[in-house]
Amino acid sequence: MHILLTRPLDDCKDLILRFKSLGHKVSHLPVIKIENVNHDKVNFDEFGGIIFTSANAVKNLNTSNINKQINCFCVGSSTEKVAKQNGFQNIYCADGNVNNLKEVILQNFDQKKDNLLYVSGEIISSNLDKDLISEGYKVKRIINYSVAPIEEASDEFIRDLKSSIPDMVYVYSENSARNYLNLLKKYNLSDYWMDTNLMCLGEKTSSVLNEIKWKKIFIFSPGEEEFLLYKI
């Protein structure tokens, strides 16, 4: 099977190796790039908990001055993995859904005891900080990365893609979906996907790509990528 992945390489290199080990052909067309954003200096001792809603938020944070025993709340297993690699020890993990992460925080963090630090990208899918504040929590949000579109692909890659259209395409966010759609239009690739299964992380992501005719659209949660191979 031919699989196309659209995440930045750092976010999908393990998946590329895994798919290849299973005998699949894998193409990589990153449609976004992650850029570091400078933020105000933070006194981490002022916080009893830290929240990450993406692995990139962990990767782009200088954690050298953070007590690794701090309560660390992660949106899903991929974020949890990076948090562990950065030394965090007291981790609470949701199932990849921000609403579920809110419930994890409500159940495991005393709003009267300490403040929360929410580390995120510039664009977020829900206002977790505001939701927690409405519940009585004291939350400070810092933005430490942004997402920029990748607007070009090599002529060689486009030629190869046209000659061998993938059986599956994985797209992970609304922003990625918009950039992917723009690339398809730019290189006149919009009509090539009738035999391709589109795999989207969430319904909002899939809705961006509804104007393209796909064989079938699947909605998945983080960590289910390999499982989807057996659904088509």
The pLDDT profile of the chain, 232 residues, written as one tens digit per residue, is 999 999 999 899 999 999 999 999 999 999 999 999 999 899 999 999 999 999 999 999 999 999 999 999 999 988 999 999 999 999 999 988 899 999 999 999 988 889 999 999 998 878 999 999 999 999 999 999 999 999 999 999 999 999 999 999 999 999 999 999 999 999 999 999 999 999 999 898 999 999 999 999 999 987 889 999 988 8
- Please indicate, yes or no, whether residues 104 and 56 belong to a single structural domain of this protein: yes
Q: How long is the chain?
A: 232
- Please indicate, yes or no, whether residues 179 and 135 belong to a single structural domain of this protein: no
Q: How far apart are CA 178 and CA 173, in angstroms?
A: 9
Q: How far apart are CA 8 and CA 168, in angstroms?
A: 17
Q: How far apart are CA 199 and CA 220, in angstroms?
A: 7
**Residue 160's domain spans which residues?**
2-31+150-228
- Please indicate, yes or no, whether residues 122 and 50 belong to a single structural domain of this protein: yes
Last residue of a domain, one of 115, 147, 179: 147
What integer pLDDT is reported at residue 107 of this predicted model? 95
- Please indicate, yes or no, whether residues 88 and 43 belong to a single structural domain of this protein: yes
What integer pLDDT is reported at residue 191 of this predicted model? 94
Q: Count Cβ atoms below 10 Å from residue 216 Cβ, excluding itself.
A: 10
What integer pLDDT is reported at residue 125 of this predicted model? 77
Last residue of a domain, one of 147, 168, 194: 147
Q: How far apart are CA 108 and CA 132, in angstroms?
A: 13
Last residue of a domain, one of 147, 173, 189: 147
What integer pLDDT is reported at residue 121 of this predicted model? 93
Amino acid at 161: L
What integer pLDDT is reported at residue 112 of this predicted model? 81
What integer pLDDT is reported at residue 223 of this predicted model? 83
Q: Domains in the chain: how many in total?
A: 2
What integer pLDDT is reported at residue 183 of this predicted model? 96
What integer pLDDT is reported at residue 232 of this predicted model? 80
What integer pLDDT is reported at residue 126 of this predicted model? 83
- Please indicate, yes or no, whether residues 109 and 45 belong to a single structural domain of this protein: yes
Amino acid at 50: I
- Please indicate, yes or no, whether residues 131 and 215 belong to a single structural domain of this protein: no
Amino acid at 209: L
What integer pLDDT is reported at residue 96 of this predicted model? 83
Categorise residue 87: left if φ over 0, alpha if ψ from -120 to 50, beta otherwise.
left
CATH number at residue 166: 3.40.50.10090
